[in-house]
Structure 1
Amino acid sequence: MNKPAGLSHWFPVLGWGRAYDTQQLTGDLLAAGIVTLMLIPQSLAYALLAGVPPQAGLYASMLPLLAYAVFGSSRTLAVGPAAITSLMSAAAVGQVVAADPSAFWDATLVLTLLSGLMLAVMGVFRLGFLANFLSHPVISGFISASGLLIALSQAKHVLGIAASGDTLPDLLPSLWRGLPHTNLITLALGLFALAFLWWSRRRLKPLLLRLGLGPRLADGLAKAGPVTAIVVTTVAVWLGDLTRHGVHVIGDIPQGLPALTLPGWNPSLWAELAVPALLLSVVGFVESISVGQTLAAMRRQRVEPNQELLALGASNITAALSSGLPVTGGFSRSIVNFDAGAQTPAAGVYTAGGIAVATLLLTPFLHYLPQATLAATIIVAVLSLVDFGILKRTWHYSRFDFSVVAATLALTLLAGVETGLIAGIGLSIALYLYRSSRPHIAVIGQVPGTEHFRNEQRHPVQTSPHVLGLRVDESLYFANARYLEDCINQAVAARPALHHVVLLCSAVNHIDASALESLEAIEARLAGAGIKLHLSEVKGPVMDRLCGTAFFRQLSGRVFLTHYQAIQALAPESLA
């Protein structure tokens, strides 16, 4: 009887698949139709961004969606190529195979497979918590900088010029040198696509609603704006024979489904791509789980982070085996999938079917699709991710967080996506360690007429010259143990009439071996000065660990259930 439950844990499809009904089928088919229209131009555009042939984007939108439907725990997450992961892929592979551009796609497949394997292993060993080390300031700074880099990198296609670079110092001079060679026809097509996409994203749905269309139909048509831009500009290039005037188009896209491929085994290449693959995995997982949990909460559903690791791992492995590129749960397409009424991951299966039909039948019609249109699609999508307002918000709220955002943003722009992300994570962890190494320790006294004790610097409180109450607002571990010793020594030295020190431990969730040694040293010093050390409000798990220690056996004072009881026993005359 336990076996099906175990299988459903690893294969969520067995859970929702058993209860699949006609109503869910209708919702999933409608959502799949809308997402398919959105995903075709996105897939082509993100393949262009990743530096691989456009068909790779279509290939990455088929088998990975089937894999996610089997393993994914989110009912509405839509998996496929995404802007940030495509940029990271292009940057990582470009550094490794810069001398051999012909190997770019093969190296991208290796990166995709490595990422998929890492995600799957992290899921099996339940390492989803590692993503918690990517703080919001790091993610926000990284995404904003990456969005700006992506938009600038696509400007060359809108202008119809040659330019290169993965950082601002490389991109801006390259674009500047190319400006005199701008192709005006390409620029006109690109500006039209940009203007139309921007207008359709903000204005088309309200217009359709005013014309009497239903909300769902109006929303679906508005989301299909990129398809309209593709049709209009493609027809314009074809009718005007604009390729003769220097307009760059997608060109021939092979018809048919992808052949199964196995990325080549090159130990040195795999080793060089290992760190980029790990960063790609973490960023893709964070983006995916953030979207998945947000959408699940709206329907009171649940997303399992470790299962999502396994699902994304399977999706990327299948992408690598079918000539694709890295995939993750994209924000925009997942929102569209949710709003369109998707009920289960089967919507992704139907979307994959729609992409497969497009690959079989529609690719000849994409021959004249201008690269400028795809670039405009990317630019409009990624600029919505740029949030420079976080600099102002964090500056006013936390200078530490501001420094993390600013450093991540600046280093990503100036040194590249990998350097910026690693530096942001490193700085975030370093600042956390710094802050936790200097915990807030307050001298506390009784709020008159109550049993509450508060910081004497913030509240009018009653204290005793014979009892020092200290509240430690942090768990005690190796990094802050010595700081606690110094604070107690300084406080004791300033109070010659002192007889008792009481540590209020209500905020202490853990005491490690180094902190325990520091407590033993504090006890020994205080005892030598004729002062007793007491503890109050020690949490149960912490008390369980202390009970068998030499510190507890040698403690000169007592352990009190509440701080009020401690003062009541040690200095009752000070109570008001």
Structure 2
Amino acid sequence: MSSMGDPADENLERKEMDVRNLSSSHGQEPYVHKVGIPPRQNLFKEFQSTVKETLFADDPLRSFKDQSKSRKLILGIEAIFPIVSWGRTYNLTKFRGDLIAGLTIASLCIPQDIGYAKLANLDPQYGLYSSFIPPLIYAVMGSSRDIAIGPVAVVSLLLGTLLQSEIDPIANPVDYRRLAFTATFFAGITQATLGVLRLGFLIDFLSHAAIVGFMGGAAITIALQQLKGFLGIAKFSKKTDVISVMHSVLSSAHHGWNWQTIVIGASFLGFLLFAKYIGKKNPKFFWVPAIAPLVSVVLSTLFVFLTRADKHGVAIVKHLEKGLNPSSVKEIYFTGDYLGKGFRIGIVAGMIALTEATAIGRTFASMKDYQLDGNKEMVALGAMNVVGSMTSCYVATGSFSRSAVNFMAGCETAVSNIVMSVVVFLTLQFLTPLFKYTPNAILATIIISAVINLVDYKAAILIWKIDKFDFVACMGAFFGVVFASVEIGLLIAVSISFAKILLQVTRPRTAILGKIPRTTVYRNIQQYPEATRVPGVLIIRVDSAIYFSNSNYVKERILRWLVDEEELVKGDYQTRIQFLMVEMSPVTDIDTSGIHTLEELFRSLQKRNVQLVLANPGPIVIDKLHTSNFAALLGEDKIFLTVAEAVAYCSPKLAEEP
């Protein structure tokens, strides 16, 4: 019978299979392996080792060892600017792939950027600004070959919602724009700080399920927000929840909708969805959905210009500022009431942008089988947003749709971002007047078609099948965004993720083990129904470290197992429980509260005339058991290498029971 599927015992299977009862017919005692005690570590070295494993597991200074000063300088420059490293092997073949990819994502980013800027309640040129400077910074400092940098829908909506709650963008556009730059500055500071201090693991506290729900809810919210431009509604709710939005839509149905705008929007939405269908049907035509938004902008703009549809109620972009990014250093709030607000908004926006970029980077890095340095990514993203905040940009990050197109177009390095940036530069310098007659409906349509893929219902179904608690986190984040606001949904996502961690820490799993027939392997009796209990011995496995947060629960749960087992034994007239064995291989650590709990368990079992036995404690645990003198209290002859050896010790004792 295979024992695969029980991860907590998998690493001991071979060792336990080799254990044999060495008792012979001459009455020889079985051989028992002594559990080793690791040498005591110096307190400073132990602390140093813990910090290194937590913050420097990748040993970033490893490559600097035994190097000359000049070599260390070069390695230091390469660590900060990876382009220096891979740039030495760059060639024309790679540039050909990057050129095609860069031109392709540029055709996609230009119309998207204009729309996303409106989503953030900023003038359309700020979206283009954010796809010019940040990609250049990232190309020099980033370590991902595939991420396409620029504004994204979710962060734009989040930023717009949070900023709008502080300043009215219509009544006070100057202060609103200044607060946006301030938030972008602190978003970059947050990201860079996490990278420098190597605290990137903090973003892992937001679970995958919560991200799926948050992204799906944000996509629905973004799509609903676009009904204003899609239907040609002039007065629209400033709130983002579905009830407020639908009330605005329905209340304006009789007098606020513009049929010409609806025709334009519906026609091009059908065109964009058809282009996406072609791209999915045949990957060779990936460029069709990539250039479809730009084609839509050109055709719709030409149509409005020729028919003068703007004279009949079709809202257009009107003015798009020409020229490169102006300096915004003096516009950032470094003092005053808005400093704290910008700092708070920046942290939230920076963390969400970082989470999205990290997820995208890891996805494509695994597809191309290369390593992504998470801390370098954070520093690069932070640097580009800090510089961006000083050059009239708002928060930029990795875009999933553009990164996917970048990947499929055959990008080789981050040079594709440079190509995209050059195209945006040319657009800002020479082409912005051509967007004057671009209808808002087409921008709304482009955003709707872009965010549809963020609603990953297949992932939600899979989450339901795998883990119901994860599904609760997913749906909590989803409904929080849809029915409340983006920040409420984000708060719910973070809260449920932390609640799951706390639940797992405070309520660890325990299991009763039984013996697999014809082996010396002991497994969970619920997973392996053929596993048989050892008469007179209750074997319990604790699947977690034992800390102050869960030690009382562990003790109470073990005693409940014992009471239940004693009732079962009495009913079946079996041998009473004389030994309670705790299998400790999954117990990676134990603190003073855990030791105290074992002492209480030991005394409680003594009163019941039941002996406590331990099997396979790890090096940290066994060291603490001896240091605390618990091993002496228990008796060192009751700590065993394997469950099989512990059972072999207990069996003769049970036979002696009258």
TM-score by length of 2: 0.82
SS state at 2:286 partner? helix
Q: 1:174 aligns with which of 225, 248, 256?
A: 248
**Contact kept? 1:48, 1:54, Cα under 8 Å:** yes
Amino acid across the alignment from 2:236: A
Matching of residue 163 in structure 1 with residue 242 in structure 2: no
Counterpart residue number, 1:247: 314
Relative to 1, partners in 2 of residues 1:528 and 1:232: Cα closer, same or farther, differing over 3 Å? same
The within-5 A match list for 1:142-153 is 142-153=214-225
Whole-angstrom distance in 2 between the partners of 1:358 and 1:418: 34
Counterpart residue number, 1:439: 508
Matching of residue 316 in structure 1 with residue 316 in structure 2: no
Matching of residue 506 in structure 1 with residue 585 in structure 2: yes
Give the deviation of 1:500 after TM superposition. Answer: 2.3
**Contact kept? 1:193, 1:229, Cα under 8 Å:** yes
Matching of residue 227 in structure 1 with residue 294 in structure 2: yes
Whole-angstrom distance in 2 between the partners of 1:5 and 1:518: 51
Whole-angstrom distance in 1 between the partners of 2:514 and 2:586: 17
Relative to 1, partners in 2 of residues 1:58 and 1:572: Cα closer, same or farther, differing over 3 Å? farther
Stretches of structure 2 that go unaligned for 5 or more consecutive residues are 1-70, 571-575
Give the deviation of 1:101 after TM superposition. Answer: 3.4
Whole-angstrom distance in 2 between the partners of 1:485 and 1:159: 63
Matching of residue 335 in structure 1 with residue 404 in structure 2: yes
Whole-angstrom distance in 2 between the partners of 1:410 and 1:571: 57
Give the deviation of 1:331 after TM superposition. Answer: 0.3
Alpha-carbon displacement from aligned partner over 1:368-405 (angstroms, at most 9, x marks no partner): 11111011000001111113445544444332122212
Counterpart residue number, 1:550: 629
Alpha-carbon displacement from aligned partner over 1:47-69 (angstroms, at most 9, x marks no partner): 11111000000100011011111
Give the deviation of 1:482 after TM superposition. Answer: 0.9
SS state at 1:309 partner? helix
Alpha-carbon displacement from aligned partner over 1:149-198 (angstroms, at most 9, x marks no partner): 00000111011112122111221111112222211111111111211111
TM-score by length of 1: 0.94
Indicate the structure (1 or 2) with the bigger Cα radius of gyration. Answer: 2
**Contact kept? 2:275, 2:288, Cα under 8 Å:** no
Whole-angstrom distance in 1 between the partners of 2:475 and 2:186: 31
Whole-angstrom distance in 2 between the partners of 1:464 and 1:338: 58
Relative to 1, partners in 2 of residues 1:30 and 1:371: Cα closer, same or farther, differing over 3 Å? same
**Contact kept? 2:192, 2:379, Cα under 8 Å:** yes
Matching of residue 365 in structure 1 with residue 438 in structure 2: no
Give the deviation of 1:565 after TM superposition. Answer: 0.8
Alpha-carbon displacement from aligned partner over 1:547-574 (angstroms, at most 9, x marks no partner): 4223234223522111111111121598
Q: 1:140 aligns with which of 212, 215, 228?
A: 212
**Contact kept? 1:447, 1:459, Cα under 8 Å:** no
Relative to 1, partners in 2 of residues 1:478 and 1:367: Cα closer, same or farther, differing over 3 Å? same
Whole-angstrom distance in 1 between the partners of 2:79 and 2:628: 41
Whole-angstrom distance in 1 between the partners of 2:405 and 2:653: 67
Give RMSD over aligned pairs: 2.1
Relative to 1, partners in 2 of residues 1:178 and 1:574: Cα closer, same or farther, differing over 3 Å? farther
**Contact kept? 1:276, 1:418, Cα under 8 Å:** no
Counterpart residue number, 2:647: 567
Matching of residue 344 in structure 1 with residue 413 in structure 2: yes
Whole-angstrom distance in 2 between the partners of 1:385 and 1:201: 14
Counterpart residue number, 1:478: 548
Stretches of structure 1 that go unaligned for 5 or more consecutive residues are 210-214
Matching of residue 191 in structure 1 with residue 266 in structure 2: yes
With 152-161 and 104-113 compared, the bigger mean Cα shift is at 104-113
Counterpart residue number, 1:276: 345
Counterpart residue number, 1:76: 146
Whole-angstrom distance in 1 between the partners of 2:172 and 2:243: 22
Counterpart residue number, 1:487: 557
With 165-174 and 151-160 compared, the bigger mean Cα shift is at 165-174
Alpha-carbon displacement from aligned partner over 1:89-112 (angstroms, at most 9, x marks no partner): 111101111385322222111111
SS state at 2:314 partner? coil
Whole-angstrom distance in 2 between the partners of 1:179 and 1:242: 20
Relative to 1, partners in 2 of residues 1:299 and 1:389: Cα closer, same or farther, differing over 3 Å? closer
Give the deviation of 1:523 after TM superposition. Answer: 2.3
SS state at 2:511 partner? strand
Relative to 1, partners in 2 of residues 1:15 and 1:553: Cα closer, same or farther, differing over 3 Å? farther
**Contact kept? 2:198, 2:375, Cα under 8 Å:** yes
Counterpart residue number, 2:361: 292
**Contact kept? 1:30, 1:340, Cα under 8 Å:** yes
The within-5 A match list for 1:9-88 is 9-88=79-158
Give the deviation of 1:465 after TM superposition. Answer: 4.0
Relative to 1, partners in 2 of residues 1:431 and 1:222: Cα closer, same or farther, differing over 3 Å? closer
Relative to 1, partners in 2 of residues 1:517 and 1:70: Cα closer, same or farther, differing over 3 Å? farther
Whole-angstrom distance in 2 between the partners of 1:135 and 1:204: 31
**Contact kept? 1:446, 1:453, Cα under 8 Å:** yes
With 549-558 and 370-379 compared, the bigger mean Cα shift is at 549-558
Whole-angstrom distance in 2 between the partners of 1:456 and 1:374: 60
Counterpart residue number, 1:8: 78
Of all paired residues, the percent bearing the same amino acid is 31
Whole-angstrom distance in 2 between the partners of 1:64 and 1:574: 73
Counterpart residue number, 1:212: none
SS state at 1:454 partner? strand
**Contact kept? 1:534, 1:559, Cα under 8 Å:** yes
Relative to 1, partners in 2 of residues 1:491 and 1:201: Cα closer, same or farther, differing over 3 Å? closer
**Contact kept? 2:278, 2:288, Cα under 8 Å:** no
Counterpart residue number, 1:417: 486
